[in-house]
Structure 1
Amino acid sequence: MLLSSLGTSIANVGLPALAEAFSASFQQVQWIVLAYLLAITTLIVSAGRLGDLMGRRRVLLAGIALFTAASVLCGLAPTLGWLLVARALQGAGAALMMALTMAFVGETVPKARTGSAMGLLGTMSAMGTALGPSLGGLLVAGPGWRALFLVNVPLGVAAFGLAQRCLPVDGPRPDTRRAGFDPLGTGLLAMTLAAYALAVTTGRGHFGALNLALLAAAALGAGLFVLAESKVATPLVKLAMFRQPDLSASLVISALVSTVMMATLVVGPFYLSRALGLNAAVVGLALSAGPLAAALAAMPAGRMADRFGAQRMTIAGLVGIAAGALVLSMLPASLGVAGYVAPLVVMTVGYSLFQTANNTAVMGDVAADQRGVVSGLLNLSRNLGLITGASVMGAVFAWASRAVDIAAAEPEAVATGMGVTFGVAAALIACSLAIAAASRALVTRRTVLL
């Protein structure tokens, strides 16, 4: 989990150096980050299903090996095209690692301690996100940009050795005649997700004909995927799972929450630099408060989920996110950087509590032969929320600021844009709370009837 999140965040800081090394534009080197994220997004559900069928330990080891080998290819890349292909392969390995790491919790940890295990995974993910920019900056300034990727090699070798030594050996594989892989569903889902991800990332906030065509392709692909899954004997995703109100609600809420949390990354740098006039070093320190708070809060959040119940802590986390977003929506610039960081910490602590409790609630009750695919769905909902948030919340911020170029907007316009954006964020979390309450009421009603 640490490796896959580090792979996401460490490359961002090296984009200027990579643009210079390959004589490429910033738009071109952005695909170094996008290739990794697109590979994870399109493959993570299939990765989880592959683990369910072929053995989670076996597939996880293959994922770590692929991630490590791809890191070598990234570090040796002679051209930008080579680097983009290697980053996509690295993302494929990360998809296997992310899906199966969470799936392993169900078979290696007692149910009473599932929350604590999920909290530990949350801590590792937040540490990877927080460590990436600082470690990446040191590596670019020292050995150079190739070290951004080669640093993963010794870490990958260590992770492979630990997984091989410590994880339980896979049990008997399922009868492939009854539990086969679904190539049609896998292909349709991958193409659908790729079309959607490209639709919301292409154009850097300018929505045009290409974005509409990609969204139409994604909608068509989603329809074909549902049709295919209803026909095949062994579907990639059993559509009947979505009739479970708690699972469906958890996936929807996870996507909404991730959309909201992306606002802190989209809006924060502009508010701190333009509205408050802070230099880059102070902006970086202020933004690192969020991941640091999440890393510190995740393990206590897991213990609270075990002690007080995952559903209660899910609601508590959502309330924390809503409170932080509401304060940010009304924040006067006169409070300075402390006025921004305090509600940001409240939001990220709430997010850490929500994420840990939500994952615990879902993974604690899932059938053993579906742990991989459900873990993939949870990770997918989070990733879709992040890429949607980057587009939607960025568009809301730009619209509310009424600036052609947000990087040159007046401080008052940026402050206004931030207030409107976090007001929308608070409204989305209010919707999430309503969905959670409705789901809980429906589950309670069904239990009483049974």
Structure 2
Amino acid sequence: MSDNTVEGLRARYGERWRWLAVATVMLGTMATVLSATVVNVALHDIMLEFGIRQGQVHWLATGFIAAMTTTMLASSWLLDHFGVRKTLATAMFLFTVISLLGGFATSPEQLIAARIGQGAMAGLMQPMGMYLVFRIFPRNRRGQAMGIYGMGVILAPALGPVLGGFLVDQLDWRYVMFAPVPVTLAGVFMAWRFLPLPVSRPAPYRFDFPGLVLLGIAIGLSLDTLNRLQELAGQEARIAIEGVVAVIALVLFVIRERRARHPLVNIELLRNPAFVYANVGAMALGLALFGSTYLVPLFVQTALEFTATEAGLLMLPAGIVLGMTFPLAGRLADRLSARKLVIFGIVLFAISAMLFAVSDIELAFGWLALWTVLGRIGIGFMLPALSTGALNPLAPEQLGAGSSTINFTRQLGGAFGVNIVALTIEFGDHSGGIPTIGAFHSAWWLVAVFVAMAAIPVWKMRV
């Protein structure tokens, strides 16, 4: 039997074992991010096959995001009790099985259930990369490792729509569900081979299942409420009831977390100002990443009349440049102030959003590609620095809770950001039922202002 202690892995693979471990968790993260983005291009075909409308099909995206956001906070308990090796391997294996079942779904309910299951497993996998990097790399190399890890995180959403479009056009929408399977199967093998056993484990403690249920209800209903606001007519009563239940669930969740002996959210972490401010920055990063990924293709296709292929090509250079930015930003995060790097990234992204907000129909493709690249460079500087700024001050035993919390806030910012952007467009000016360029300008200004405002708490990080 292989020795998967840190010493055993080092003896077997030398110092490169750390990078093999990073590659392993990167596979899991790429599969989850790919699954989150690749399905969007298949929604039209799914609606036609099952004869369903927008009100039901949106749960393929909303259910995935809500489940992923909720279960992120459960990863800390799993890491404490089973370690990263067993937790990640099991989550990837279950993700594989659920993806296969979803691909063979015979009803929309089965497909939605599979997407929710994918999201739940994705939420468990996402914090693993950050946790592992901060456990196995020395303090002065964590930024570099996060930069390399971040390349995989960001390349997946850049390639997702391109891959999804090819699969839907050339094969069938079901292959969108099958797409992550080879990646996660390889990840299971690599996790068992390259990830270390835990050095020590805390005393067993009870999992906060009631807190998880309350949080899931609050997030799921609030996202559904925001989505339904886009078609308000005839749904006023349902929207009001869902909104009230979501608020009640959130209040009960906060009360539960304050009283629970072992809460989902580690209250001690919230007493660390740098960690709290970094989480506010992470919410802004989520809004910037997911909001712009949603906005750019929709904006250029709807307002500027680009084709789907042109929209995909517009995003591709930005994804490649972002992948190149991460290693540089990671190295700088090891040497420079985290808050200065994050604010630099915020400024670049805000400028990019403002340039989109003042664009007109005659603008050339090259300028739009350049502005997209500028925004992605900004995001590239934000992610590694936010990670080091949030987690470097924490004790080793707090890293599991810390990584799950900052991943949760980033995903939460993205989930609500996309819905708020969609609402802004829906309530903007329309012509013939299609949003005008003015509606998109309002959305871009909203994104620019929200992200720019995050510079205030980020400056208070003092790291």
Aligned mates of 1:56, 1:327 — CA distance in 2: 43
Aligned mates of 2:264, 2:162 — CA distance in 1: 39
Matched, 1:314 2:342: yes
Corresponding residue of 2:306: 278
Question: Matched residue of 1:180: which SS?
Answer: coil
Q: Is the 2:95–2:122 Cα contact (8 Å) retained in structure 1? A: yes
Greater alpha carbon shift after TM alignment, 367-376 vs 163-172: 367-376
Corresponding residue of 1:435: 457
Q: TM-score, normalised by structure 2?
A: 0.86
Q: Is the 1:262–1:393 Cα contact (8 Å) retained in structure 2? A: no
Q: Return the letter of the residue paired with 2:370.
A: A
Question: Matched residue of 1:11: which SS?
Answer: helix
Question: Matched residue of 2:106: which SS?
Answer: coil
Alignment of 1:11-22 (within 5 A): 11-22=39-50
Distance 1:332 1:11, change over 3 A: closer
Aligned mates of 1:117, 1:278 — CA distance in 2: 37
Aligned mates of 1:271, 1:155 — CA distance in 2: 31
Q: 2:282 aligns with which of 254, 263, 280?
A: 254
Matched, 1:366 2:388: no
Corresponding residue of 2:320: 292
Question: Matched residue of 2:364: which SS?
Answer: helix
Greater alpha carbon shift after TM alignment, 53-62 vs 284-293: 284-293
Aligned mates of 2:169, 2:439 — CA distance in 1: 34
Corresponding residue of 1:394: 422
Matched, 1:328 2:328: no
Matched, 1:140 2:168: yes
Matched, 1:37 2:65: yes
Q: Is the 2:84–2:196 Cα contact (8 Å) retained in structure 1? A: no
Q: Return the letter of the residue paired with 2:106.
A: P
Matched, 1:166 2:194: yes
Q: Deviations over 1:265-308 (max 9, x none)?
A: 44433432344332332122113343333223222211221232
Q: Deviations over 1:390-436 (max 9, x none)?
A: 2222233344x4226652x4xxx41x333333233332233111122
Q: Is the 1:317–1:352 Cα contact (8 Å) retained in structure 2? A: yes
Distance 1:238 1:222, change over 3 A: same
Aligned mates of 1:375, 1:158 — CA distance in 2: 24
Tell me how far 1:175 sits from its aligned partner: 1.3
Tell me how far 1:230 sits from its aligned partner: 2.1
Distance 1:429 1:82, change over 3 A: closer
Question: Matched residue of 1:34: which SS?
Answer: helix
Q: 1:48 aligns with which of 71, 76, 82?
A: 76
Corresponding residue of 1:348: 376
Corresponding residue of 1:92: 120
Distance 1:137 1:278, change over 3 A: closer
Q: Is the 2:325–2:377 Cα contact (8 Å) retained in structure 1? A: yes
Greater alpha carbon shift after TM alignment, 316-325 vs 265-274: 265-274
Q: TM-score, normalised by structure 1?
A: 0.88
Corresponding residue of 1:200: 226
Q: Is the 1:272–1:337 Cα contact (8 Å) retained in structure 2? A: no
Question: Matched residue of 2:265: which SS?
Answer: coil
Q: 1:243 aligns with which of 260, 267, 271?
A: 271
Distance 1:234 1:250, change over 3 A: same
Distance 1:380 1:335, change over 3 A: same
Q: Return the letter of the residue paired with 1:424.
A: L
Q: Return the letter of the residue paired with 1:437.
A: W
Question: Matched residue of 1:421: which SS?
Answer: helix
Matched, 1:403 2:425: no
Corresponding residue of 2:134: 106
Tell me how far 1:215 sits from its aligned partner: 3.1
Tell me how far 1:262 sits from its aligned partner: 4.0
Q: Is the 2:95–2:117 Cα contact (8 Å) retained in structure 1? A: yes
Corresponding residue of 2:442: 420
Greater alpha carbon shift after TM alignment, 13-22 vs 61-70: 13-22
Q: Is the 2:285–2:383 Cα contact (8 Å) retained in structure 1? A: no
Question: Matched residue of 2:263: which SS?
Answer: coil
Tell me how far 1:259 sits from its aligned partner: 2.3
Aligned mates of 2:301, 2:170 — CA distance in 1: 27
Aligned mates of 1:195, 1:275 — CA distance in 2: 31
Q: Is the 1:205–1:391 Cα contact (8 Å) retained in structure 2? A: no
Question: Matched residue of 1:55: which SS?
Answer: helix
Q: Return the letter of the residue paired with 2:313.
A: L
Matched, 1:119 2:147: yes
Q: Is the 2:45–2:173 Cα contact (8 Å) retained in structure 1? A: yes
Distance 1:315 1:18, change over 3 A: same
Q: Is the 1:192–1:217 Cα contact (8 Å) retained in structure 2? A: yes
Aligned mates of 2:108, 2:389 — CA distance in 1: 42
Tell me how far 1:26 sits from its aligned partner: 4.2
Corresponding residue of 1:448: none
Q: Return the letter of the residue paired with 1:137.
A: G
Aligned mates of 2:454, 2:376 — CA distance in 1: 16
Aligned mates of 1:154, 1:148 — CA distance in 2: 12
Q: Deviations over 1:58-99 (max 9, x none)?
A: 211111111111112112222222222122222221111112
Matched, 1:71 2:71: no
Q: Is the 1:63–1:92 Cα contact (8 Å) retained in structure 2? A: no
